[in-house]
Amino acid sequence: MKAVICPKYGPPEVLQIREIDRPVPQEKEVLIQIRATSVHRGDTRIRGLDIPGPEWQKLLARLALGLRGPRKSILGMELAGVISETGPAVTRWKSGDRVFASTVWSGFGSYAEYKTMPEDGIMAPMPSNLSFEEAAVIPSGGITALGIIKMGDIQPGDQVLIYGASGSIGTFAVQLARARGAVVTGVCSGTNAELVKSLGAASVLDYTTSGFTLKEGYFNLVFDAVGCLSPTQAKKALRNNGIYLNVHSASDRIKKSSVRCLLDELKTLVEEGQLIPVIDRIFPLEEIAAAHKYVEGGHKIGNVAVSIT
């Protein structure tokens, strides 16, 4: 099968497409024929060992991920595809089932034509109204956005600010907050304002303008979906007892035990029409390096998908 290998840390050009053996599912595993995956900022950070924060964090990351290159050399955090084979003890799934999944807890590996996953992995039936590319971009950003929005305890009529509203997590967060009855203010560049409004934001602030500021004491929840808003500015914008959530710290509080339920909930929201994935571009697998370069540029809108068909 074809797979994208990351043999060492470096620029997008280190990624290599190779022919490798197709994995064989063990007793309680399924083999998925991957039809689409994605490229997130997290993928590019792992590939380039571009870890934000102090040097000790980068050292810990290298110890965890691999010293000279990623220990898990096939990257990729999410997928959509079809189960092609099941292990003899699998009861939950059957061949032909369409699924979408997060591979973060299963050794990554979605930059390939096939991947094995545990029967009880972070996987759910694919939403019936989506393409493989649309479904593939939901698990990572969607789970993060939904898990953090739930921490905000949004009540109908609450004023909610989503900073980074046109990004992967932000586009999901705007819709999820609106579905809970919030009055959403999105923050993004002016060129993406109409998109964010179409997702449910009542108003949009352009952070690129010279007079950009946040109304003090106004919001019940401020969610920084990209980790770029000053915490001091965010907290000043909160009402008494308001909640400030930063994607970098809050995502660590999402419990692994709840992640499968979050994915199931995302499927329901999509099928009910309350949540749509926003895709900026779709690249073929053969152009995975170009996809990484595009995401690394920092100007993508929503998500970048990779087609493997």
d(CA 273, CA 209): 33
Q: How many CB atoms lie within 10 A of CB 231?
A: 12
Position 269 pLDDT exceeds 90: yes
d(CA 296, CA 30): 32
Position 104 pLDDT exceeds 90: yes
Encoded tokens for 40:
């997130």
Mean pLDDT (whole number) for 62-77:
95
- What is the C-alpha end-to-end distance of the chain, expressed in Å? 12
Domain 2-138+277-307 identical in fold to domain 141-252? no
Position 53 pLDDT exceeds 90: no
Instruction: Catalogue the long-range contacts made by 284-293 (C-beta closer than 8 Å, 24 or more residues apart).
Output: 285/2, 285/4, 285/17, 285/111, 286/17, 288/4, 288/12, 288/15, 288/17, 288/39, 288/111, 289/12, 289/13, 289/15, 290/12, 291/39, 292/12, 292/15, 292/39, 292/43, 292/44, 292/47, 293/12
Quick one: how far is CA 144 from the chain centroid? 7
Confidence of residue 58 (pLDDT cuts 50, 70, 90): confident
What separation in angstroms does the CA of 91 have from each of 8, 73, 120, 124, 146?
38, 30, 10, 14, 29
Position 240 pLDDT exceeds 90: yes
Shortest CA distance to 167 belongs to which of 154, 151, 186? 186
The answer to whether 200 and 176 are in contact (CB under 8 A) is no
Q: What percent of the chain has pLDDT over 90?
A: 95
What are 14-52's pLDDT values in tens digits? 999 999 999 999 999 999 999 999 999 999 999 999 987
Output the pLDDT for position 34.
Answer: 98
Query: 183 pairs with which residues across the strands?
Result: 159
Output the pLDDT for position 19.
Answer: 98
Position 55 pLDDT exceeds 90: no
Mean pLDDT (whole number) for 108-130:
98
Please report which helix (H) or strand (E) contains residue 84, including its range. strand 78-86
Mean pLDDT (whole number) for 90-96:
98
Output the pLDDT for position 231.
Answer: 96
Question: Phi first, then psi: what are they for 241, rounded to 5°?
Answer: 70, 15
The answer to whether 300 and 41 are in contact (CB under 8 A) is no
Please report which helix (H) or strand (E) contains residue 171, including its range. helix 168-179
Output the pLDDT for position 309.
Answer: 80
Q: How many CB atoms lie within 10 A of CB 199?
A: 25
DSSP state of 69: S
Position 193 pLDDT exceeds 90: yes
CATH code of domain 2-138+277-307: 3.90.180.10
Confidence of residue 147 (pLDDT cuts 50, 70, 90): very high
Buried b (16+ CB within 10 A) or exposed e, 270-301: beeeebbbbbbbbbebebbbebbebbbeeebb
* Residue tagged 């003899």 (tokens): 88
Every domain of the chain and the residues it spans? 2-138+277-307, 141-252
Buried b (16+ CB within 10 A) or exposed e, 144-161: bbbbbbeebebeeebbbb
CA dihedral 294, 296, 297, 303 (to 10 degrees): 60
Output the pLDDT for position 138.
Answer: 98
Mean pLDDT (whole number) for 135-142:
98
The answer as to CATH 2.40.128.20 being correct for domain 141-252 is: no
Output the pLDDT for position 211.
Answer: 86
What are 150-165's pLDDT values in tens digits? 999 999 999 999 999 9
pTM across the whole model? 0.96
The answer to whether 142 and 79 are in contact (CB under 8 A) is no
Output the pLDDT for position 52.
Answer: 79
